[in-house]
Amino acid sequence: MRTSFADRPIVAGTDGTTVAIQAVEWAADEAHRRGLPLRVVHAADRLPYDAPRYPIPDCYDRMIPSGRQLLDHAEKVARDRWPGLEVSTELADGRPGRVLREQAGRAAELVLGGHGPVGARLAGHVDVPVVVVRPAAPGAGAEIVAGFDGTHAARPALAYAFDEARLRGHRLRVVCAWEPPISSGPRIAVDTGEIGRIREDRARRLLTVWRDRYADVETELDMVRAHPVSALVDASARAALLVVGSHGRNALTAAMLGSVSRAVLEHARCPVAVVRHAL
């Protein structure tokens, strides 16, 4: 549960593109579900046009009218979708990654369109969930899918996934993917059936507390013998939202998102929420 973020807005970044407007629509729906305000932010990045040695006079001032215009459009999209929603906009000066990272510090959730590198750079590297909006596959079902590695580190992602399932009235499918260990020699026999049973027993025990807490959410544990990326991407074809965790541990993970989360962001067939586990 993210009660400390209860009074913060849902923040959507926009650059006026079609995928960015889809992100604004998703963020408006999320703000409505959670009873939170929506803030739409556009970063007016002057750097590509204003080299330090050859500055363009009034560069930022010239970018303001177009930035305001696309923010006005995004605000109208959100208000048309939910007329009673509290919506504000902000035109910020700076690189999109830096601006949105700062916005995350004052947000309950950060929502971005599913194109460009900004989503991958921010997902898992800020303290709030980052949702990268990708179009859902045709015929996507009414279910939330959560990736689960069978450890306590998955708690923040599970909490978010259960919240979303309850708010939407959706079923929650918890996908626990695993691959048998590689034998180190021809004489070592690996009982993959027993390994699978042990993993499933552990996963069910860890999920018990969540099922008790969210007794009104229909929950299914899906044990899949496959690479996590393949299992999650396949499951995303039937999902309204895919939730994965990320370990923001050190400078390395601040520069590079985990391989599973990154691959899922690139290939999922529905919106993806990346929820950071802070140690």
User: Looking at the domain assignment, is residue 49 inside a domain?
Assistant: yes
Query: Which pLDDT value is given to residue 253?
Result: 41
For 239, residues 6+ apart whose C-beta sits below 8 A from its C-beta are: 136, 140, 141, 143, 144, 145, 173, 269, 270
* Neighbour tally for 242: CB within 10 Å: 29
Of the residues 97, 113, 133, the one at which a domain ends: 133
Same domain, 42 and 153: no
pLDDT averaged over every residue in the chain = 85
Same domain, 271 and 149: yes
Sequence letter at residue 190 = V
Look up the pTM and report it: 0.87
Distance of CA 253 to the CA centre of its chain: 16
Rounded distance between C-alpha atoms, residue 160 and residue 129, angstroms: 8
Of the residues 106, 133, 160, the one at which a domain ends: 133
Query: Which pLDDT value is given to residue 72?
Result: 97
| DSSP-derived pairing of the beta strands 10-13 and 109-113 | parallel
Query: Which pLDDT value is given to residue 228?
Result: 93
What average pLDDT does range 151-166 have in this prediction? 92
Q: Kindly report, residue by residue over 50-96, the tens digit of the pLDDT.
A: 445 455 555 556 678 889 999 999 999 999 999 999 999 999 988 99
Name the strand (E) or helix (H) holding 277: strand 272-277
Torsion of CA 111, 115, 118, 121, to 10 degrees: 100
Domain that holds residue 228: 143-275
| DSSP-derived pairing of the beta strands 219-225 and 87-93 | unpaired
- CATH number of the domain residue 89 falls in: 3.40.50.620
What average pLDDT does range 97-109 have in this prediction? 95
User: Looking at the domain assignment, is residue 4 inside a domain?
Assistant: no
Same domain, 122 and 223: no
Q: Kindly report, residue by residue over 265-276, the tens digit of the pLDDT.
A: 999 999 999 998
Same domain, 195 and 117: no
Residue 16 near residue 65 (C-beta atoms within 8 A): no
Number of compact structural domains in the chain: 2
Q: Kindly report, residue by residue over 217-237, the tens digit of the pLDDT.
A: 999 999 999 999 999 999 999
User: Looking at the domain assignment, is residue 210 inside a domain?
Assistant: yes
Query: Which pLDDT value is given to residue 35?
Result: 96
Rounded distance between C-alpha atoms, residue 72 and residue 180, angstroms: 53
What average pLDDT does range 11-39 have in this prediction? 96
Which letter does DSSP use for residue 279 in this model?
Answer: -
User: Looking at the domain assignment, is residue 266 inside a domain?
Assistant: yes
